[in-house]
A and B are shown apart, each in its own frame.
Chain A
Amino acid sequence: MKDYNTLIKELAPRKFTALGKLWTGFLIAVLVAALVCYYFQLRDGLIITEMRDYALWGVYISNFVFFVAISLVGSLMTAILRLSGANWSTPLTRISEIIAVAAIIMAGLTIIIDMGRPERILYLFTHGRLQSPIIWDVVVISTYLVISLLLLYYPLLPDFAILKKYFKGKNKLSKWYGKLALNWSGTDSQRQIYNKSIRILSIMIIPVAFGIHTVTAWLFATTYRPGWDSTNFGPYFIAGAFVAGAGAVITIMFILRKSHKLQDYITDGHFDKMGKLLVLLCLLYLYFNVNEYLVPAYKMTVEEGVHLNELFLGQYAALFYLVIVGGLIVPIIVLIFPKGRKPVPVFIMGVIVVLGAWWKRYLIVTPTLLHPFLPIQGVPESWHHYYPSTMEWIITFGTLAGALLIITILVRYVPIIPIHETAEERGITESETTKKP
């Protein structure tokens, strides 16, 4: 059994390696390019995108939905699994919360990027009208951000106290960790508050998480548009969000395990379990997809029919099958077999699932808008289609880079595996080795 000091040494944040620096530099470069493009968008208007009066929402909105979806993983891993007593997920809770916080921050920013008059953002608060689903989204997303931040921060308190000691030689770092630890000393009363708060937050975050994605689904489902006008949309989005989130956790835990040599903490068993979880979630999502497409396809009303034809046989067909087969069915088949649940295949499936999830949102947002009730007439030919412009892509990649940068920075300064919880679970206590009278 490892002793306490080795545990801390292995889990304490580390400086960037050369590769880490290169990676961070790359993300910053993408972010700067996106900021330059956003400057042009502010100056010239949304004309720099390929969105027009029919394709009035585009890749910004589908990217927003993707971020909201990914952010749900925080509630899945830290709350749902924790409350159901699945303790194997402890080493993954921090990663999930970090992903959730990064994603929800970028979701908020992405929706501002999509606005025609971003400088009027405060009108949402000064002139907000409660019957608009956008206001519900604003309320519930900001609530989710706060709870997610707290759920990331509270379990960090003992870890920060540990790190304060660990980095004693480095005054500045130690001082910061000390401040962040809020005088954590591990007394019984502190532990009581700590456990209670985390438990309350874990329970609170579940309805709020369902709220954010259900409301996001309602942004579409509350319109009359074929392809969006569906009572299935809330649960369909939630199921899809868990798939995307689980994929994101798998991807990032694989990379961090490699880069930080965490094989002892994130074991093959974790990949096996995440693989099983992903199969379950994919099956669930597949079920909702069947509902979403097959029921209207059976009836083939005119409006739905035009939309579905475009997806099944038309210009979106290739992407549609790639997303359904590649992003859902293939992972289910691969991960059903024990051999498919080794770290590398699970990682590959995780990446595929995340990519599939991103394009899935694109398929939800774009084709519907190009099939309005009245025919598209009297607008330039190019308005009949939508494919994002280069600047639109760069800004979108900028938001993705932004999320990854938040994750990278947090990983740099925060223990990826909860030290305190791991020590407790493994029964390693400070007293055996370091405690002084």
Chain B
Amino acid sequence: MKENSNNPRRKFLNTGLKAGLLTAIGAAATKAAIDMDKAYSAEEETVELMTPEGKLIEVPISQVQEMPELKDENYKVREGFPNRKFVMVVDLARCKNAKKCITACNKTHFITGENAWLKVYKMQESKHTAPYWQPTMCMHCDKPPCVKVCPVDATFKRQDGLVLIDNERCIGCRFCMAACPYSTRVFNWEEPKQGEMTEIHLQMEDMGHMGHEMHSPDYAGFPSVKGTVDKCDFCPHMIDQEELPHCVTACPNGVFFFGDAYEDTVTNGDETFRLSKLLEEKSGYRLMENLGTEPNVYYLPPSNRLVDFEEGLENYTEFESVEKPDTSENSEEL
């Protein structure tokens, strides 16, 4: 998937992502933009934008309104970003187990245990079908079994689709882990050794955070709390900064697409698709649909693959998903 850097679409995407994560202009704004087409005067400076239909149009700068802030003063961590519904699409045809997603996730969430939140499974449905690599993270289900069983409301579902954990509330009963069919939840069996990692200290000082008191469900693993459950949080701290989750940006093959179901748009940073169209054209599906959990992570089947399955084998470590923090490869990464 090589993109020419002079490609105007690329330029749009860069600006687009800076202006707001997937703030592909909403219906009202598009209408305004299209109306402007008529009154377009050649003197005015213009900007290229994409309509929800995927058409590129030029719009005078004066007519472009900034999207409202993701987060206003009414933001509540248990309610989430208003008018959003975050989704992820994982294209299995592109995954060759490069594991950059795992490395990035482990590093940015300061994961020190043995079980990563994002793992790439080596899968094969049956003897005669082709093996493939399947990145698996929290599915952020719309009917989350983990939330249903939590006795103290420590893990909760937000309006923007995210399932998060309040580690100051969690009593460590691990019922959510038993309930999750995707085995995505991990437990802090001992005091996380994050204290020794200088990054977390520096970052916490930067943000005026010290110790566990400042823990927020918006930033899982920052810091992790002994005796409580952790899992993939869909990176609300990145969304807040109008960036994509770490796994999405780290992936060299563009496997992960992140976006907003209400805007019907997903992007991997290089390419942007209509979610509905992508799922329809590529026969998207969700894991264990039969259980009725209604995940917000979709998969595109590993057909017409762009990469060889075998290429991933050299990276495959059956018994490890968290590299130890100070390996040289790790520190180069981010």
Contacts and interface: CB of A to CB of B under 8 A. Distances in A.
A250 interface: no
Contacts of A224: 145, 179, 181, 291
A378 interface: yes
B288 A373 contact: yes
Contact of B189 (A51, A57, A374): A51
Interface string B308-320: 0000000001111
B228 A133 contact: no
Contact of B151 (A54, A114, A129): A129
A129 B319 contact: no
Interface stretch (A25-33, A39-47, A163-171): A39-47
B63 interface: no
A369 B183 CA distance: 10
A373 B295 CA distance: 15
Given A117-B172, A374-B121, A45 B191 contact: yes
Contacts of A377: 119, 121-122, 318, 321
B171 A381 contact: no
Interface of A: 44-47, 49, 51-54, 56-57, 114-118, 120-121, 123-124, 127-129, 131-135, 138, 219-220, 222-225, 369, 372-381, 383
Contacts of A381: 319
25 contacts: A56-B177, A115-B227, A116-B171, A116-B229, A117-B228, A120-B152, A120-B172, A124-B151, A124-B171, A129-B152, A132-B149, A135-B151, A220-B178, A369-B178, A373-B181, A373-B288, A374-B183, A377-B119, A378-B115, A378-B119, A378-B321, A379-B114, A379-B321, A380-B320, A381-B319
A378 B116 contact: yes
B174 interface: yes
Interface in B122-174: 122-123, 136, 145, 148-154, 169-174
Contacts of A44: 190-191
B187 A129 contact: no
A378 B182 contact: no
Contacts of A379: 114-115, 319-321
Contacts of B136: 374
B186 interface: yes
B189 A45 contact: yes
A192 B181 CA distance: 55
B251 to A, nearest CB: 17
Interface residues of B, number: 48
Chain A interface mostly helix, strand, loop or mixed? loop
Q: Majority SS of interface residues in chain B?
A: loop
Nearest to A383: B114
Contact of A46 (B120, B170, B227): B227
B179 A223 contact: yes
Contact of B114 (A115, A121, A376, A380): A380
Contacts of B186: 53
Nearest to A46: B189
Nearest to B182: A374
B226 interface: yes
Given A45-B188, A53-B187, A377-B119, A116 B172 contact: yes
Contacts of A52: 114-115, 187, 189
Contacts of A121: 171
B178 A373 contact: no
Contacts of B228: 116-117
Given A129-B152, A222-B149, A379-B321, 16 more contacts: A46-B189, A46-B190, A51-B189, A53-B186, A116-B170, A117-B172, A120-B169, A132-B175, A135-B151, A369-B178, A374-B136, A375-B121, A377-B318, A379-B319, A380-B114, A383-B114
B173 A223 contact: no
Contact of B174 (A47, A57, A132, A376): A57
A123 B183 contact: no
A335 to B, nearest CB: 36
Contact of B227 (A49, A53, A117, A220): A117
